[in-house]
A and B are shown apart, each in its own frame.
Chain A
Amino acid sequence: DGGITQSPKYLFRKEGQNVTLSCEQNLNHDAMYWYRQDPGQGLRLIYYSQIVNDFQKGDIAEGYSVSREKKESFPLTVTSAQKNPTAFYLCASSSLRVGTEAFFGQGTRLTVV
């Protein structure tokens, strides 16, 4: 089945550590996105990529980094510079056809301990 796989589902991080969230898609989509979801805040864009080896910052990119070495994969690293990383993270992908919807993974819940 085609879809987007995020792993792990739950992740715990100690203060000062970097952690990487995985996102893989087999939908043959060119564009991929990372969103952060906090209670009462909706979904806020962290980074997005429209093509391999290229990506753009979203509204809340500080403290995060990404890479896009393969079309299928768009991992997100939460660095120690991110002051409040506890949140629910959603990865999405879409085709480059104008107006198409985005498809989402099941999310990763990151908790700082």
Chain B
Amino acid sequence: AQTVTQSQPEMSVQEAETVTLSCTYDTSESDYYLFWYKQPPSRQMILVIRQEAYKQQNATENRFSVNFQKAAKSFSLKISDSQLGDAAMYFCAYRRGTQAGTALIFGKGTTLSVSS
């Protein structure tokens, strides 16, 4: 079975600084997708970024980027130029790539606080 581990329950960063959230996963599959979701205090889950395992290039979305290390099964999220609005819980998630409609498997989350 696939598992997702987020080893940092809490992280903090100052405005305008950069922070990296860690995520590791365990799978025997070669085809899969990885996601980072943000859950602000409103509790609405918002997709931040997505990575296809077959792509070597790291995904980037504005201030958000990932460091995808397939051999190490690592998928960290880097937030640059942090803003107060980035304060939220962040979840790393895995999805199998060989079967449509399978559920996402989530880590336990990292709570990010941002100070001014």
Contact = CB atoms under 8 A, between A and B. Distances in A.
A58 B99 CA distance: 16
Interface of A: 30-31, 33, 35, 40-45, 48, 50, 58, 88, 90, 92, 94, 96-99, 101-102, 104, 106-107
A42 B104 contact: no
Interface in B31-54: 33, 35, 42-45, 47, 50, 52
Complex A-B, nearest 4 residue pairs according to Cβ-Cβ distance, in ascending order: A104-B45, A50-B101, A42-B108, A31-B101
Given A58-B103, A101-B50, A106-B44, A43 B91 contact: yes
A33 B43 CA distance: 17
B43 A30 contact: no
A31 B99 CA distance: 12
Contact of B103 (A33, A96, A101): A33
A106 B43 contact: yes
Contacts of A44: 106
B43 A45 contact: no
